[in-house]
Amino acid sequence: MGKYDFIKTGNLLYWHDPDNGLSDGAYQIISTPENIDDDSVILISSGTSEAEVFPSELSPISTGRSYKEDFLHWKAEREAKGMKFYDRLSEVMDTENDLAVGDIVAFTNDYGIVFGPHEVLAFEKPRLGGRCVYIDSDAYWLSDRPEQLTVLSKRGAE
């Protein structure tokens, strides 16, 4: 196992900006060389800016505890009361970005802070300002807005 095996195109990682932490935060890997050494240059993006960084400046973002089991229990209770859940975003709204249960996303809150990666767990008809996507997070019971999510990988059923 290599020192930088966690650095792969598409992964969401934390960049420790050597410029006094000016741009520290979660970034997606855009490109990497085939073999990564200490002096390799990695291209990262926050969605609004890009930077070329060294591998030593990157670290994995811990996904922490999974709340999927808690969510499934919560979901079953709601379904018993008549609440309906769906497997695809296109089942609840017109969209070009057809998320599916099992996809992996990053969540960006209203203050621009990125969390993740998180697994998509279910969908509901939009409510509360467009909220309709449930993800594996500590607030599994509160759906998120699709525009708050960035797809990191498509693992859901096609």
Instruction: Determine the structural domain holding residue 111 and report its residue range.
Output: 68-153
Same domain for 74 and 131, yes or no, is yes
- Helix or strand or coil: residue 68? helix
pLDDT at 144: 96
Domains contained in the chain, number: 2
Same domain for 87 and 56, yes or no, is no
Residue 73 included in any domain: yes
Residue positions counted in the chain: 158
| Pairing, β 114-127 against β 50-53 | unpaired
Same domain for 102 and 144, yes or no, is yes
pLDDT at 107: 86
User: pTM to 2 decimals?
Assistant: 0.67
Q: What is the pLDDT of residues 21-64, one digit of tens each?
A: 888 888 889 999 999 999 999 999 987 889 999 999 998 876 67
Same domain for 72 and 104, yes or no, is yes
Residue type, 16: H
Same domain for 52 and 81, yes or no, is no
Same domain for 73 and 121, yes or no, is yes
Same domain for 54 and 81, yes or no, is no
Low-confidence residues in the chain, pLDDT < 70: 1, 62-63, 156-158
pLDDT at 97: 81
Same domain for 124 and 94, yes or no, is yes
pLDDT at 156: 64
